[in-house]
Structure 1
């Protein structure tokens, strides 16, 4: 039985990863021993039915008769009996294969039941991966131990790395039981989401629960020497879900702070959408008292949409509410909706500076994916509300919106009907609001319908060539309902009473053709019909002693027609300077065109009214005046138009000597001149020539500087009152043209090459601001501001050591504007200002930014903002300061970068006195 027991032990350990020479020798000895001994055993099968006994065979009769056939039958019967071991084997302690390796050696100790792996040892079993300097597996106790080893200098190396599923731990040493899945870990280091955790002792209870002793939590990349951490002694840790701790203390630079909590809860869910409380920030104001701002709740309603509710409250009674929601559906649509409302109370009731007002703002952005339906689209960009919202809001300093004078919105839907001919339909609503005058213009809605071009004379071959075959007609419909109101009447009954409705129908008939081979000609005849729901009746009211307009409700219409044609060509000219010159040639492209337009007088739509009490003085008017699409013209329009566009391009020798072909450089992108001549002008009441408009633009310095300019040149002189007279300026002692206005703008953006791409501030750009920081960066009170660091900065000290060997990253945006006015001989500079925005790295961890400018006409500094930011590894600190002006304010922020701990911050900002 001794041999049998030994044999069974080896049977349990017979898996390939444990095979060695010693094991093979013992295994062969085992089988040889089994061959020499006749050991039989039989297990009693557990059956529910009785087994029919077989008939006993008399062996004595078999011996006497010596019947060979009977002996054969007996042998066959006895051979069919099952042979089973009566001793039930034990189940192997491992359920799968174990793979392991080591650089120096892998040793098996049969007496102690140990397998030892040394130097770069690795062990793989099911979902467990273990790497360490030394691994010892006790296959009798079903345990494995892993630890570090010392190198030749006595320093510990090859720290264990234990990974089970998605959980990874990097301790000093670890003990793990394969059966119970329990583990004991010393000085473990692990990552869970944005957290990095280190604990003196960790007890793994099962796959989902860990208990930690002497633990620290941080978001720093250096878990052994972090710049800050949360120290606690008792921790229950559930990977991927949460961390619950006992008494927790914040430690900064290994110095305990007085900030402590009796217990703490840290969520570690890997889900992106999790509902939760948003902690408010504290602030104080001289005019509104103490406050809590930006506190609320985030609702993760689904994977497609969410909702954030935020609120502000001041002790003097002021409060604010904000609802923000984002939604998206892949290959369908995406958008966001924001609603802000503030009830502002200044000072206290009874004081002379007491004031109370309600302001609000609605923003909606929606975009539909073209893949959803290629034949239809829907989009929305809404920004409306109180005109003074961005100037008076107590929660944000939106520079782009504050300096902008207009809020605008647009909602549109379009659909294409696949008919023959094709029909396109669009329905839109627009809104434009002047924040200074508080005047609001809206179209609710605008309907546009167009039928694709029809070529009635095209042949069966489908070729549209020549004057006759190119004749085409089209139908367009434009219907509008416009409303003009103010902030005080917005969405009140009076707003809709003043609405104006109109529908415009147009049928253009046109064709184009070649003329004398080098000229392109086109001609068109346009018919228009306009419908109105309201007209006016003008008369003199003796009671009021004034001319009044009476609104007449009811359908009315007028019809007009016009004719136009144009001829144009393209002329190319090249000036060659020689192949050996730096500038090899200059190419000049001119595109001149002449157009003619004629619109007859529609005097039949005009009536007369008495302009005084006597009735002797009469004037003409049209009952369609003030309509959406205007009124028909009273006089003929018979004009010739002249346009000339130019481009200049040069071929230059490339600085790169390896390139054979010359480099093309654009000298002037466009230089346009345009004017017109009135053929019906009498030279007294009407002047023949209109002013010449000159405009142009180009790009310089590798397309980094945009230059645009324009000027208006009037050929006629003016009298002492500033009225144009029928005398050319050159005949009045002046030059050929009198420059009445001119303007020039320069925009230049340069950088050191590392910060070429700017981050767009969508909120500022959406509200009419610039996408760059020329007007400064926007801030939300008590909610921090976007970091100037892009997240790619190195966290170690290597970058600092390279600082003095490399150039400082920087970028600069430069804008200059000059406007000249001389309409009435004032001959003065109306506008002359410069604006500069620059950002630079003082050190790899310090950033400096400034936005400022100067107005040379008003002799004053324009909006100025100074920005400082310090990268504190896991923390961030910034300071924004607007030193003077109506928007003067400052703000200081320091907080943890991690989104999980974003509420751990200190944010202090001044209250804008103008609000």
Structure 2
């Protein structure tokens, strides 16, 4: 018997309020077998003589332990054990807890029910737990021999699904059959905003749900959405599967299927997403995207996109076709993976007009980019004395307007750390001699200048220009009179090139003739520099009882000298002949290195003196926090500098003094908003034709300085958290931003890019932030989250008496959470000079509990469009969505 070895040890404790349970006759007919009763317990009456061999009684494979809070009572007549209040039975990896548990020793079965609490409510409902699976039914019937169970009104969570069944039959520890089942991803499983209803399902925990006829209900209303059968994966791991496309219509290309394809879960370290678009006029697009990551080593993503576009229909006069493509690759290495070497990549190249003409909605925030750039680099450090650094890089820069492409394939750089040949072996280096140091730098480069039409053709590689540059800087620094810091340096440079250009004049065509000469050639240059500077401090104290306790002024004046000799030996001449008037013949100086990899050596001798002074103003103010012990330090003026240069080698008639340059920033909000200022002042005057002349402006009837140019700019990002205690926002990894990886801005000033499914939810937790706090807050004291990003710039030009503002604009982007479930946002700008709005995007997002809805609208411009999306949040059911959009007319 099940309890034979434990009855003698049990001790019955009389509860405070004893519950009398009347004995009832078992409703199960003894001569009818059910699915939970073992066959060997059936009583069969017939005239056949029974077998003389004794049948072996079934034995449990493990010890059954049980306990209860109120009482444990054994009924010998019924051969049952009753456990009341916080009852629990454990057998192998199975645990059943309930308010009332009845153990039937005759049938080796267990029954679990809830009990009423002091208010009469049904409480302590059964909980059936096996391994990681938990079921919460109204009642349970379990057989120890067959290990089968019947569960009534069960509730369980499997992955993103919440499953609720009227009757559940446990076939074994991995298969359940359920009747009249509702399953949903809604958080409210008792009253979900939507659910799927199936009359019968097969449920395999952590693996799948297989159903018969299934219908979708929204707000308890059945919908026409139904399937004769269904399959729902439950695994938490990434799994391969089809991606259902979106359906729609455009005026230019007809009906379409977009973003359909297949997801390949290759391994835990890498995946692949293959998507495609097709339009009924023949246009199509293909996209391959892959992400990979190895923890503590590296991570990255790779994307290739190709689109073959047709406008209108073949045979119509407005028909046109073209193809565009784009390749992106980003790779970052963990800093701790290998401290001595590093590999990184940031690639964004393709057709110059890709972002302007792409039918992919994720590029809507990137068509304003004028430049595509790429860099792939590897660096290695060889420790030693001196240290050696080596780097190999390939770079790419592409102007999308001019379609000009500049590439280096590759650039090799090597450097040897500073060597102090005269420094003492022990102790610090002192004085002019001991601080003498030198370095060696090498740069080898293969540079390619081409266009879109010649990209990666044989012509592109034939026009490549390559060479090498060797640089040896020699420098030292020392103190003069303890307060003056002096430094001097001499720089030697040798340039090797393998392509030069000989120039001559053709009297027949009357044009310059340029001949390319391939072969090794070289030239050498050198220069000398010296500087002297110091730091001056000034302090004014107002007293500790004042709001402003002190102001400190820091000045850093410096004077520098640079000497650059003329390298005339590398220059030649040719004569331009005038057949009509020989007196008009002229001599043209040129160098064969003009147009070579590292440019031409300087022909003009220069000797100039540079003057600069920088200023910083700081103040100590009384902290508003009364508990603060020390005063607060703030910056009033940050690095405001004035600089100019005087050319000592200028010839008569040349301008000796360069324009005075003013640079600095004014902190408006500490550590948040700095207004950057710059201006140029010129002492020379203009003639009546607005041409600069070698005459002081003050001697020409003007002021001492002529204001020629100015610029004011600032960028500011703030939110409601900036006005809350400890409200610092977390930094977002830029590489996780789709717009940034496309080469755009990560600050949303050009708008937000929708996901591939058309939604605007780059951050799927947008509505989940501070969710618990929102539940506790009442409406009247609810804090409305918001964030704003602003960029402003103004440029003034008066170099030739224009007296005009050449550019003046402001850009802004922001989002406001009007309610816990509504977010509205906008990205726009205004050109204050031309009095017009720049590219504008309006965004509306609504949290529908289990669903999400968004509306993205570009109200005007040639990219006017809108996109409406509504779909289930859960990634398991992301294909259940509705997406409607109006695409912009991109015909040229």
TM, length-normalised to structure 2: 0.91
Query: Residue deviations 1:727-769, cap 9 Å, x none?
Result: 1222222222222211111223222227945755622123332
Structure 1 residues 28-427: aligned runs within 5 Å: 93-271=59-237, 273-427=238-392
**Are 2:635 and 2:670, in contact at CA under 8 Å, matched by a contact in 1?**
no
Note the C-alpha offset of 1:572.
Answer: 0.8
Note the C-alpha offset of 1:232.
Answer: 0.7
Which residue in the other structure is 2:587 paired with?
618
**Are 2:661 and 2:681, in contact at CA under 8 Å, matched by a contact in 1?**
yes
Match of 1:434 among 371, 389, 399: 399
Q: Quick one: distance in 2 between partners of 1:687 and 1:16?
A: 113
Match of 2:551 among 582, 586, 606: 586
Structure 1 residues 742-781: aligned runs within 5 Å: 742-753=710-721, 756-757=729-730, 762-780=737-755
Q: Quick one: distance in 2 between partners of 1:89 and 1:263?
A: 45
**Are 2:328 and 2:742, in contact at CA under 8 Å, matched by a contact in 1?**
no
Q: Quick one: distance in 2 between partners of 1:137 and 1:777?
A: 62
Which residue in the other structure is 2:11 paired with?
20
Which residue in the other structure is 1:681 paired with?
650
Tell me whether 1:656 sits opposite 2:622 in the alignment: no
Secondary structure of 2:239's counterpart equals coil
Query: Residue deviations 1:415-439, cap 9 Å, x none?
Result: 1223442221111111000011111
Note the C-alpha offset of 1:378.
Answer: 1.2
Distance 1:746 1:454, change over 3 A: closer
Q: Quick one: distance in 1 between partners of 2:597 and 2:695?
A: 37
Q: Quick one: distance in 2 between partners of 1:591 and 1:410?
A: 37
Note the residue ranges of structure 2 that are not aligned, 5 or more in a row. 14-52, 722-726
Structure 1 residues 617-636: aligned runs within 5 Å: 617-636=586-605
Note the C-alpha offset of 1:219.
Answer: 0.1
Query: Residue deviations 1:200-222, cap 9 Å, x none?
Result: 00100001111010001100011
Which residue in the other structure is 1:818 paired with?
794
Which residue in the other structure is 2:608 paired with?
639
Note the C-alpha offset of 1:120.
Answer: 2.3
Distance 1:92 1:667, change over 3 A: farther
Note the C-alpha offset of 1:793.
Answer: 5.6
Distance 1:757 1:913, change over 3 A: farther
Deviates more, 1:716-725 or 1:161-170: 716-725
**Are 1:474 and 1:508, in contact at CA under 8 Å, matched by a contact in 2?**
yes
Which residue in the other structure is 1:6 paired with?
none
**Are 1:467 and 1:512, in contact at CA under 8 Å, matched by a contact in 2?**
yes
- Give aligned pairs, total: 840
Q: Quick one: distance in 1 between partners of 2:243 and 2:815?
A: 32
Query: Residue deviations 1:323-363, cap 9 Å, x none?
Result: 11122223332211110000001111221211110100000
The structure whose Rg is larger is 1
Note the C-alpha offset of 1:231.
Answer: 0.5
**Are 2:715 and 2:789, in contact at CA under 8 Å, matched by a contact in 1?**
yes
Secondary structure of 1:220's counterpart equals coil
Q: Quick one: distance in 2 between partners of 1:514 and 1:849?
A: 58
Which residue in the other structure is 1:671 paired with?
640
Distance 1:705 1:420, change over 3 A: closer
**Are 1:795 and 1:873, in contact at CA under 8 Å, matched by a contact in 2?**
no
Q: Quick one: distance in 1 between partners of 2:531 and 2:365?
A: 43
Distance 1:658 1:420, change over 3 A: closer
Secondary structure of 1:403's counterpart equals coil
Match of 1:857 among 833, 836, 839: 833
Note the C-alpha offset of 1:800.
Answer: 9.4
Note the C-alpha offset of 1:798.
Answer: 7.5
Note the C-alpha offset of 1:794.
Answer: 8.0
Q: Quick one: distance in 2 between partners of 1:540 and 1:245?
A: 87
Match of 1:879 among 831, 849, 855: 855
Tell me whether 1:735 sits opposite 2:700 in the alignment: no
Q: Quick one: distance in 1 between partners of 2:617 and 2:58?
A: 87
Distance 1:683 1:827, change over 3 A: farther
Which residue in the other structure is 2:673 paired with?
705
Q: Quick one: distance in 2 between partners of 1:213 and 1:407?
A: 58
Tell me whether 1:837 sits opposite 2:805 in the alignment: no
Match of 1:724 among 683, 692, 699: 692
Q: Quick one: distance in 2 between partners of 1:267 and 1:17?
A: 50
Secondary structure of 1:374's counterpart equals coil
Query: Residue deviations 1:177-232, cap 9 Å, x none?
Result: 12211110111000000000000001000011110100011000111110000011
Deviates more, 1:667-676 or 1:599-608: 667-676
Secondary structure of 1:154's counterpart equals coil
Note the C-alpha offset of 1:620.
Answer: 0.9
Deviates more, 1:510-519 or 1:747-756: 747-756
Q: Quick one: distance in 2 between partners of 1:403 and 1:231?
A: 48
Q: Quick one: distance in 1 between partners of 2:626 and 2:539?
A: 25
Distance 1:495 1:798, change over 3 A: closer
Secondary structure of 1:373's counterpart equals coil
**Are 2:755 and 2:761, in contact at CA under 8 Å, matched by a contact in 1?**
no
**Are 1:194 and 1:219, in contact at CA under 8 Å, matched by a contact in 2?**
yes
Secondary structure of 1:900's counterpart equals helix
Q: Quick one: distance in 1 between partners of 2:119 and 2:519?
A: 102
Q: Quick one: distance in 2 between partners of 1:461 and 1:387?
A: 59
Note the C-alpha offset of 1:787.
Answer: 5.6
Q: Quick one: distance in 2 between partners of 1:235 and 1:464?
A: 82
Distance 1:595 1:793, change over 3 A: closer
Distance 1:462 1:476, change over 3 A: farther
Which residue in the other structure is 1:42 paired with?
none
Q: Quick one: distance in 1 between partners of 2:12 and 2:178?
A: 43
Q: Quick one: distance in 1 between partners of 2:728 and 2:542?
A: 39
Distance 1:506 1:796, change over 3 A: closer
Q: Quick one: distance in 2 between partners of 1:256 and 1:728?
A: 88
Note the C-alpha offset of 1:806.
Answer: 2.1
Distance 1:668 1:351, change over 3 A: same
Cα RMSD over matched residues?
2.2
Secondary structure of 2:747's counterpart equals coil
Secondary structure of 2:461's counterpart equals helix
Query: Residue deviations 1:43-98, cap 9 Å, x none?
Result: xxxxxxxxxxxxxxxxxxxxxxxxxxxxxxxxxxxxxxxxxxxx999778444333
Which residue in the other structure is 1:479 paired with?
444
Distance 1:705 1:371, change over 3 A: closer
Q: Quick one: distance in 1 between partners of 2:144 and 2:245?
A: 48
Query: Residue deviations 1:615-648, cap 9 Å, x none?
Result: 7311211111112221111111101111222211
Note the C-alpha offset of 1:817.
Answer: 1.4
Deviates more, 1:350-359 or 1:610-619: 610-619
Note the C-alpha offset of 1:783.
Answer: 3.5
Distance 1:781 1:277, change over 3 A: closer
Note the residue ranges of structure 1 that are not aligned, 5 or more in a row. 1-8, 23-86
Which residue in the other structure is 2:45 paired with?
none
Q: Quick one: distance in 1 between partners of 2:529 and 2:773?
A: 73
Which residue in the other structure is 1:50 paired with?
none
Secondary structure of 1:205's counterpart equals strand
Distance 1:844 1:15, change over 3 A: same
